[in-house]
């Protein structure tokens, strides 16, 4: 899988530590990590947790990545932002059991972590254990095993509900505040990573227009 890491401004100083813990776990599994920043608190391009959701939606709906790891101080804001968009199913993950059950029960494509609340001594170890459980085997297999059938059925129902309750991504991109959108996609390495991996020409062309 191609997996994106996105940090917003309040926790940007932790990006290197988070990315190192992430790569340590998932690269040996064969996954590819793309660090979309922010890379530090003083980055020229500042991301809010709202823009984390915009970026996650662009990356997932264009298939530039298969999964997004994001977060904020509590993890709540980034999770809410991600889930306001089509094609994004984001869980709020605090510990390894959250990660495992979200992957197996909800079979989402993004998680939001609290990078300030409860983020103290041994935080990097918790991150490693979270990532291990999140990407342990095939997701969507159910937990506990006697709940597999209803859980998989409910996931399909939720996917269909989201199709009805959300506008398509191009409509959103054209109608969202354009300065907010431009700020989200103006990161240091965005163009390098995104355009090399994007599989949706319509989204790519519109992002080029926004950046021009």
* Per-residue pLDDT reduced to its tens digit, 113-142: 999 999 999 999 999 999 999 999 999 999
Distance CA 29, CA 66 (A): 15
Give the model's pLDDT for residue 205: 98
Strand order in the sheet with 32-35: 32-35, 2-5, 67-72, 110-114, 90-92
The answer to whether the beta carbons of residues 118 and 124 sit under 8 Å apart is no
Read off the DSSP letter of residue 143. S
Position 199 confidence tier, pLDDT thresholds 50, 70, 90: very high
Q: For tokens 């992430």, what's the residue?
A: 22
Average pLDDT over residues 172-176: 97
* Per-residue pLDDT reduced to its tens digit, 14-64: 999 999 999 999 999 999 999 999 999 999 999 999 999 999 999 999 999
The answer to whether the beta carbons of residues 79 and 48 sit under 8 Å apart is no
Tell me the C-alpha to C-alpha distance, in Å, between residue 90 and each of 8, 24, 28, 39, 188.
16, 23, 24, 22, 25
Asked if the bond preceding 109 is cis, omega within 30° of 0, the reply is no
For the chain, domains (ranges, CATH) are 2-211 (3.40.1400.10)
Instruction: Name the helix (H) or strand (E) containing 127.
Output: helix 123-134
pTM exceeds cut of 0.85: yes
What would the two tokens of residue 209 be?
Answer: 């227009």
């Amino acid at each position: 899988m191609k997996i994106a890491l996105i940090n917003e401004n309040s926790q940007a100083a932790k990006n290197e530590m988070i990315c190192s813990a992430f790569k340590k776990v998932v690269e040996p599994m064969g996954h590819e990590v793309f660090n979309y920043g922010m890379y530090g608190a003083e980055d020229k391009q500042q991301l809010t947790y709202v823009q984390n959701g915009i970026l996650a939606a662009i990356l997932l709906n264009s298939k530039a990545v298969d999964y997004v790891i994001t977060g904020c101080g509590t993890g709540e804001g980034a999770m809410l932002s991600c889930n306001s968009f089509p094609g994004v199913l984001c869980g709020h993950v605090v510990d390894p059991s959250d990660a495992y059950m979200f992957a197996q029960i909800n079979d989402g494509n993004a998680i939001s972590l609290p990078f300030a609340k409860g983020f103290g001594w041994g935080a990097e170890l918790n991150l490693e254990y979270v990532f291990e459980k999140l990407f342990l085997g095939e997701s969507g297999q159910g937990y506990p095993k006697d709940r597999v059938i209803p859980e998989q059925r409910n996931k399909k129902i939720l996917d269909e509900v989201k199709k009805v309750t959300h506008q398509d991504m191009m409509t959103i991109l054209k109608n969202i505040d354009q300065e907010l959108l431009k700020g989200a996609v103006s990161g240091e390495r965005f163009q390098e990573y995104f355009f090399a991996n994007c599989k949706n020409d319509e989204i790519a062309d519109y992002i080029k227009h926004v950046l021009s």
